[in-house]
Copies of this chain bind each other. A is one copy, B any other.
């Protein structure tokens, strides 16, 4: 930073444009995402799977009690990378929005609309003073009336649909694996195994995936998003 001419102060004020049209605070918030635990999602014709890795950062951390994949509603789940406390706030907001939608319209919220609601909150925090952007990216996925959906929302409030997407520390390696192995017509089991293999590919030498340090949520055509038990996770891990 000390020698580059580009950032001369534009990155120190509350979210304003730099001369090249960037919002530095938003870019920096993305750096917080890149430092988070790896998490990824895969969408095929038959299933959506969301996986998150949990690292035993400290030996006495009760990793079992940490949640990394979250149910937002019966048919939709999510995971995130970045500032955990920021993520929690957005997940609360998403759950409340889903619940209210059911109460008001007597039907589940569409995943497109739910993702948009989360992203609108994020956008607001990049345009108005007195706040900082959310330092978190969410992967939102599920099945809407039989159609699989997968989105990633950025700190800017932009969200994009993906066939597969990986974020966090191992995001680069996991994406590389996914790009080489993704096929649209995988079976449910193949979809889950693709996700697990991508997560494995993202690990650093010496790290090991076990049923205790991965969380898996998935939805199939039937429309239910559910999280695997530790036994199910162990069973899938044996197949990779």
Binding site for B on A (CB under 8 A): 1-2, 5-25, 28-35, 43, 58-62, 64-66, 83-86, 88-89, 92, 116, 119-120, 122-123, 125-135, 150, 156-158, 160-165, 175, 178-179, 182
Number of copies: 7
Complex alpha-carbon distance, A28 and B21, angstroms = 5
Residues of B within 8 A of A18 (CB): 28
CB distance from A152 to the nearest CB of B (A): 10
Complex alpha-carbon distance, A112 and B43, angstroms = 32
Residues of B within 8 A of A64 (CB): 161
Complex alpha-carbon distance, A35 and B30, angstroms = 19
Residues of B within 8 A of A60 (CB): 162-165, 175, 178-179, 182
Q: Are B12 and A135 in contact (CB under 8 A)?
A: no
Residues of B within 8 A of A92 (CB): 120
Given contacts A60-B165, A85-B158, contact A130 B132 (CB under 8 A): no
Given contacts A62-B43, A128-B131, contact A123 B29 (CB under 8 A): no
Complex alpha-carbon distance, A178 and B62, angstroms = 14
Closest residue on chain B to residue A84 by CB atoms: B158
Complex alpha-carbon distance, A135 and B21, angstroms = 8
Residues of B within 8 A of A119 (CB): 85, 88
Most buried by B among A7, A64, A135: A135
